[in-house]
Structure 1
Amino acid sequence: MTTTTDGTADLDGTADLDGTDGGPVLRLESVRKTYGRDTVVLRDVDLEVSPHTVTALIGASGSGKSTLLRCANLLEEIDDGAIFLDGEEITDPRADADAVRRRIGVVFQAYNLFPHMTVLDNITLAPRRVHGVPRTEAEARARDLLERLGLGERAGEYPDRLSGGQQQRVAIVRALAGRPRLLLLDEITAALDPELVGEVLGVVRDLKEDGMTMVIATHEMGFAREVADQVCFLDGGVVLERGTPEQVFGDPQQDRTRRFLERIIAAGRL
């Protein structure tokens, strides 16, 4: 495996040379997001994500994890603060939101595959229509990624012929097909049967080994402990605690973090 000089995992061995290495890939400064007058979802959130690292966002449902990811991809407009991608303020009103999203891959809980398109067409649609990649090149990259994720024989299938785990792997391939600088994963195992969770998490392990920069919102605490370089515990829209997995899971400093993890342990999830 090689990596590009911009820190992007080069999953098919051909580097894109942007020359933006050095600082954090993603930086949030005092980000605040509210719904209506009284519902504050993110409260002055600061976060830095370094190249080739995995940041896991943990916390109870409603703590702000998914909203943070949606703000980072400009799917939600922040009310205050700033978000930077490779040092460029992407929340500046003059920023081209579509251009920003072309540099960020996102995978949600729902697979969101087009049911009337084959796996190959689902994956190549954005590279061809948005990035202007010729069909032959887009299809070659898609087939290579499918092979790497164990789906090489499924290129001509329609989504309803695939299991949930296979559909989620296709969704990950689709996100990777645009050669993203950053990959955001939002509870990607939440909709899966328990026996399918492992195959999807295995893909994320492989991406980490390939050097992909990722931010993951997850309820899979054991997986977060294993794969993350940085763990952020969110509570009430605040990053209440952050650190290495060893620190946050093994020696949490905040009472609220300890109570959360005690419940997770009691439920047999850590």
Structure 2
Amino acid sequence: MSTVLSITDLHKVFGARPVLRGVSLDVAEHEVVALIGSSGSGKSTLLRCVNLLEPLDDGTIHLDGEDITDPRVNPDKVRQRIGIVFQAFNLFPHMSVLDNVTLAPRRVHGLPAAEARDKAMALLDRVGLASRAGDYPDRLSGGQQQRVAIVRALVNAPRLLLLDEVTSALDPELVGEVLSLIRDLKADGMTMLLATHEMGFARQVADRVAFLDGGVLVEQGPPAQVLGEPREPRTRQFLQRIIEAGRL
């Protein structure tokens, strides 16, 4: 199985504060890797670095063997191959659902409007939102808005999908519909790197779990091993807190 994403010795510093300290991680084709760790551990920064939204201080990132951190690489071209969904939905409030989803295919990829519309409607239908295509985001529930945000990331058929705590802004009763969509994407073979606080979901959907602490990748492995029988004391300490909080 080929490697889609390869992160090597990644360092990122904000001011005098190191946020990522020598992180190395590979993601194979069709693999789902879940990043876990407390707030401030570096999960979101790692995803933003992969999408070239944050410059690296050291290290390299390869996408399908190409060094996308080479200064000569056009970051906009790279982002056309990577979809990213944030915990905030980031939908344009003055645009309909359909216009939100078709904006990038039309403006960035030069897709004819009719073709972009057909692709968008097929995806919206798949997530049960075709009937809401003409609505504005404020007419939708949080779970519906997040599903639209995921559709917007999928419409360009990305090679890699990054998901940054996509359920953390949702009411508990709305979390399930978003997690169900991510399970469907896994079944389709989508390659994903996701940051999550949902330990049960990570156990169910991830092929591998990677625990970050203080910007260091402390431990990684199959969910049953990392979440059930962690080898590192720091991982055990983190999971004990999660258990005490009733989240595992």
Structures share a fold, TM > 0.5? yes
- Distance in 2 (CA, whole Å) between partners of 1:153 and 1:84 is 39
| Structure 1 unaligned spans of 5+ | 1-21
CA deviations on 1:157-191 (whole Å, 9 max, x unpaired) are: 11010000000000000000111000000000111
Structure 1 vs Structure 2: percent identity of aligned residues?
Answer: 69
Query: Which amino acid counterpart does residue 14 of structure 2 have in structure 1?
Result: Y
- Distance in 2 (CA, whole Å) between partners of 1:179 and 1:188 is 19
Instruction: Please tell me whether the aligned partners of residues 23 and 87 of structure 1 are also in contact (alpha carbons under 8 angstroms).
Output: no
Instruction: Please tell me whether the aligned partners of residues 42 and 238 of structure 1 are also in contact (alpha carbons under 8 angstroms).
Output: yes
- Per-residue deviation, 1:152: 1.3
- Distance in 2 (CA, whole Å) between partners of 1:178 and 1:130 is 10
Verify: 1:227 aligned to 2:205, yes or no: yes
Q: CA RMSD in A?
A: 0.6
Instruction: Please tell me whether the aligned partners of residues 108 and 186 of structure 1 are also in contact (alpha carbons under 8 angstroms).
Output: yes
- Per-residue deviation, 1:23: 2.7
Verify: 1:32 aligned to 2:11, yes or no: yes
Instruction: Please tell me whether the aligned partners of residues 233 and 242 of structure 1 are also in contact (alpha carbons under 8 angstroms).
Output: yes
User: How do 1:33-182 residues align onto structure 2 when only pairs under 5 Å count?
Assistant: 33-36=12-15, 38-182=16-160
Matched residue SS, 1:258 = helix
- Distance in 2 (CA, whole Å) between partners of 1:227 and 1:65 is 18
Query: Which amino acid counterpart does residue 107 of structure 1 have in structure 2?
Result: V
CA deviations on 1:108-166 (whole Å, 9 max, x unpaired) are: 01111111111000000000000111111110010000011111111111101000000
Matched residue SS, 2:3 = coil
- Distance in 1 (CA, whole Å) between partners of 2:2 and 2:123 is 28
Instruction: Please tell me whether the aligned partners of residues 28 and 45 of structure 1 are also in contact (alpha carbons under 8 angstroms).
Output: yes
- Per-residue deviation, 1:66: 0.2
Query: Which amino acid counterpart does residue 22 of structure 2 have in structure 1?
Result: D
Query: Which amino acid counterpart does residue 203 of structure 2 have in structure 1?
Result: R
Instruction: Please tell me whether the aligned partners of residues 115 and 158 of structure 1 are also in contact (alpha carbons under 8 angstroms).
Output: yes
1:18 alignment counterpart = none
1:247 alignment counterpart = 225
Verify: 1:189 aligned to 2:145, yes or no: no
- Distance in 1 (CA, whole Å) between partners of 2:7 and 2:179 is 26
Query: Which amino acid counterpart does residue 185 of structure 1 have in structure 2?
Result: L
Query: Which amino acid counterpart does residue 181 of structure 1 have in structure 2?
Result: R
- Distance in 1 (CA, whole Å) between partners of 2:70 and 2:91 is 31
The normalised TM-score by structure 2 is: 0.99
- Distance in 1 (CA, whole Å) between partners of 2:111 and 2:74 is 20
Query: Which amino acid counterpart does residue 158 of structure 1 have in structure 2?
Result: Y
Matched residue SS, 1:25 = strand
- Per-residue deviation, 1:85: 0.3
Q: Which of 208, 214, 220 does residue 192 from structure 2 map onto?
A: 214
- Distance in 2 (CA, whole Å) between partners of 1:53 and 1:206 is 13
- Distance in 2 (CA, whole Å) between partners of 1:98 and 1:118 is 24
Matched residue SS, 1:206 = helix
Instruction: Please tell me whether the aligned partners of residues 73 and 104 of structure 1 are also in contact (alpha carbons under 8 angstroms).
Output: yes
- Distance in 2 (CA, whole Å) between partners of 1:130 and 1:101 is 10
- Distance in 2 (CA, whole Å) between partners of 1:69 and 1:49 is 13
- Distance in 2 (CA, whole Å) between partners of 1:264 and 1:150 is 33
Query: Which amino acid counterpart does residue 92 of structure 2 have in structure 1?
Result: F
- Distance in 2 (CA, whole Å) between partners of 1:246 and 1:110 is 30
In the TM superposition, structure 1's runs of 4+ consecutive aligned residues that sit over 6 Å from their partners are none
